[in-house]
Amino acid sequence: MSKPLISALAQFAAATAGRNMTKAAYVAVIVGVLSMVLLTDNRAREARGWVDALLWTCLAYFVFEWLVRLRHMARSGRLALYMSSSAGIVDAIGALAVPAALLLGVEPKTAWLLSVLWVLKVVPGIPGLRQLRRVLVLESGPLVSVLVIFLMVVFLASVAEYFLERDVQPQTFGSVPHALWWAVVTLTTTGYGDVVPVTPLGRVVAALVMISGLGVFGLWTGILATGFAAETRRDNFLKTWESVSKVPFFATLGPAAIADVTHMLRTIELPARTTIIRKGAQGDCMYFIAAGEVEVDLPGKKVQLGEGAFFGEMALLGNNKRGANVSTTKVSRLLVLDLVDFRVLMARHPDLAETIDAEAKRRALENK
């Protein structure tokens, strides 16, 4: 191959090796899965050639990605770790499943179905998945109980229904497995309507099952909601914690105060050139800069504020019309302090409030 191409590939490989999901990977997953879907659709028969091409390309990419990673890991001596990690397994499946099936002489149209497993590659990229998993783990106890109750109701109901309906509709309620199918469809309130009780008693049982369905739903959601509330609080604290310690402004505070403050702040990540405050808008929070830089667009001059600085405090000191446009100049992480929390903070740590007050006054004079 020509030199430039090789170097380009090398570069691409390097990019691929490290990160978990490159843009290319996302594209490949989406294109690949959609082509697989088209492949099975007869209306797309004439486009068959293109679809095949796309599928092979995606497959090639994933094989390439996998090999690059294997090499990368082998070099950094983490090969075993990688291959036993979920990511490693998913990569391997993504690269080998389809070829393996084709080699084993599975009919192509069927073999390509395995390419749906590529969606698994997206998992590590899902935002806040860790959070969801934690909730499920912490609440697993009650969730399992609900599941067990769910199954008990399903079994009891289906046997009862089978007993009541088998003679009237031997086709649909001819055996307990059939009745089980009905029970699940009903208890989840899906209600296909392919299997429906017709005897009065059978319908009474069904009604009870449906109402229990609501109950199961309710418990399930209640549990998750509770777990989620706790997790959110915790997660937000962790996110904010590091940032706070980076803001010199808070350094003066004791650990107690910092813990307090951290609970009150909310972290937001912003790309460059994003408007944070629009002049004249209603303001109900102030911002601290944990990382990055913002530009305050004052009449006549533009002021840059860097890490550790704060702005938008006017809104919290009586005047709640924003006085100037503020926007980021580079990627920035900001800590948001809502009015509601500012008042509480003010109460608990007057010194902090005074600092803000003083600074605000100073700026007001300056901008006179």
Ranges within 127-186 binding a second copy (CB under 8 A) = 127-129, 131-132, 135, 138, 141-142, 144-152, 155-156, 159, 162-163, 174-177, 180-181, 184-186
Report if residue 243 touches a second copy, rule: CB under 8 A: no
Phi, psi of 330 (to 5 degrees): -140, 175
Taking the least distance from each CB to a second copy, the nearer of 14 and 259 is 259
User: What is the helix (H) or strand (E) element at residue 4, kind and residue range?
Assistant: helix 3-18
Residues 287-316 that bind a second copy (CB under 8 A): none
Report if residue 216 touches a second copy, rule: CB under 8 A: yes
Report, in Å, the least distance between residue 46 CB and a second copy: 15
Residues 322-361 that bind a second copy (CB under 8 A): 338-340, 343-344, 346-348, 353
Positive or negative torsion for Cα 287, 288, 292, 294: positive
Candidates 124, 222, 280, 306; binder of a second copy (CB under 8 A) is 222
Single out the residue of 54, 121, 59 nearest to residue 87, CA to CA.
121
Report if residue 190 touches a second copy, rule: CB under 8 A: yes
Compose the 94-123 pattern: x for residues touching a second copy by CB under 8 A, - for all others. Answer: ----------------x--x--xx-xx-xx
Candidates 25, 36, 59, 356; binder of a second copy (CB under 8 A) is 36
- DSSP character for 123? G
The percent of the chain in helix, strand and coil, each rounded to the nearest 5, is 70, 10, 20
Compose the 37-56 pattern: x for residues touching a second copy by CB under 8 A, - for all others. Answer: x-xxxx--------------
Enter the tokens of residue 207: 């009604």
Candidates 18, 99, 124, 218; binder of a second copy (CB under 8 A) is 218
Amino acid at 150: F
Candidate segments 17-25, 55-63, 228-236, 324-332, binder of a second copy by CB under 8 A = 228-236
Report, in Å, the least distance between residue 129 CB and a second copy: 5
**Max CA separation in the chain (angstroms):** 91
Q: How many residues bind a second copy (CB under 8 A)?
A: 105
Q: In sequence order, what E strands does the chain have? A: 265-270, 275-277, 285-291, 294-297, 302-305, 310-311, 325-328, 332-338
Crossing angle of the two packed helices 350-366 and 339-348, in degrees rounded to 10: 120
Q: Using an 8 Å Cβ cutoff, are 205 and 108 in contact?
A: no
Q: How far apart are CA 115 and CA 102, in angstroms?
A: 12
Report, in Å, the least distance between residue 143 CB and a second copy: 9
Report, in Å, the least distance between residue 20 CB and a second copy: 15
Taking the least distance from each CB to a second copy, the nearer of 13 and 149 is 149
Taking the least distance from each CB to a second copy, the nearer of 269 and 362 is 269
Q: Apex CA 222: angle with CA 217 and CA 263, to 5°?
A: 150
Q: In 76-199, where does DSSP find H-type helix?
A: 79-84, 86-103, 108-111, 129-138, 140-165, 176-187
Taking the least distance from each CB to a second copy, the nearer of 7 and 140 is 140
